Amino acid sequence: MIGNDIVDLDLARKESNWQRKGFLEKIFSLEEQYLIHNDSNPEIMVWNLWSRKEAAYKIFNRNTGISGYFPWRLNCSYEDLNSGTVIVSDFVFHTQTQITDSYVYSIAVSDIGLFNKISVLETLENIKKENRIPYTLDVTSNKMIPVSITHHGRFQKIITLK
Amino acid sequence: MSREAALEKLKDIVKPYVQNQEAFDSLTEETDFINDLRINSANLVDVILDIEEKFDIIIDNESMEKMVNVKAAISIIETELSKE
């Protein structure tokens, strides 16, 4: 299973004041807050960890059917700027994060081997949805192939499995 | 505070974060913050912080987890207000 999440940094600066009192405490564990406060660029760390949690939540939600608002239960284990894991309940998801001047983009997978099988889709064509969860149908086997879509501000990313 | 009054106050709180005006205009207790009102998920934290400020209550993590739609938010607000 796969999940992705993008943050348009320009829009995030307009929409969110992460320095607001109480904001970080509602979303991040003490360890995560420590990473943010001790980073040379706390803003990027906020959205880096946030996008990992959101990408991982998409897998968790699809695997378990559980939905809710619990960013604090998705625990980031931070390896470096571009990689780590997110732990939630009994699940461990692997994440890869790409950071540019304009966006922060994370992909989460349920199995580390899936990173090599991810392919990018350019359009929403042929994507169907069931219970708001996107997928495509394999033309020969008629099997459902997972898709994850993320959209924020100027950016949209769609991924699927090869 | 009556349920109606709490609902009106809640509507004022969520209004600035709503990205689907049509869903906001026809808001009911079943309206979902993210899926219907298209509130950005990071802004849901702002909604929760605003609720804490404006109603002068504290929403713990367990309550926050359930706060996905209008009905759940009103119930949590009513429960917290009744503790005082």
Q: Which domain holds residue B78?
A: 3-82
Report pTM: 0.95
Beta carbons within 10 angstroms of residue A42's beta carbon: 15
- Domain extent listing, chain A: 2-115
Residue A95's DSSP bridge partners are A84, A108
What pLDDT, on the 0 to 100 scale, is given for residue A36? 98
And the tokens for A153?
């501000």
**How would you write chain B as a 3-class SS string?**
CCHHHHHHHHHHHHHHHCCCHHHHHCCCCCCECCCCCCCCCCHHHHHHHHHHHHHCCCCCHHHHHHCCEHHHHHHHHHHHHHCC
What pLDDT, on the 0 to 100 scale, is given for residue A24? 98
Instruction: Quick: pLDDT tens for A45-66.
Output: 999 999 999 999 999 999 999 9
For chain A, say whether B49 makes contact (Cβ under 8 Å).
Answer: yes
Instruction: Quick: pLDDT tens for A66-108.
Output: 999 999 999 999 999 999 999 999 999 999 999 999 999 999 9
CB-nearest to B49 from A22, A50, A68 is A22
Place of tokens 């461990």: A92
What string of pLDDT tens digits covers the 84 residues of chain B?
889 999 999 999 999 999 999 999 999 999 999 999 999 999 999 999 999 999 999 999 999 999 999 999 999 999 999 987
SS3 A82: coil
Spatial separation of the C-alpha atoms in residues A151 and B5, rounded to whole Å: 35
Beta carbons within 10 angstroms of residue A161's beta carbon: 15
Tell me the chain A residues in contact with residue B64 when contact means C-beta distances shorter than 8 Å.
26, 69-70, 72
CATH classification at residue B75: 1.10.1200.10
User: Is the ipTM of this structure higher than 0.85?
Assistant: yes
A2-115: CATH architecture = Alpha-Beta Complex (3.90)
Restricting to A residues 12-51, those with a Cβ less than 8 Å away from any Cβ of B are: 12, 15-17, 20-23, 26-27, 50
Question: How many structural domains compose chain B?
Answer: 1
Spatial separation of the C-alpha atoms in residues B81 and B84, rounded to whole Å: 6
Instruction: Quick: pLDDT tens for A15-33.
Output: 999 999 999 999 999 999 9
Tell me the chain A residues in contact with residue B48 when contact means C-beta distances shorter than 8 Å.
26
Spatial separation of the C-alpha atoms in residues A156 and A150, rounded to whole Å: 6
CB-nearest to A68 from B35, B48, B65 is B65
**What is the pLDDT averaged over residues A129-152?**
93
For chain B, say whether A87 makes contact (Cβ under 8 Å).
Answer: no
And the tokens for B6?
């709490």
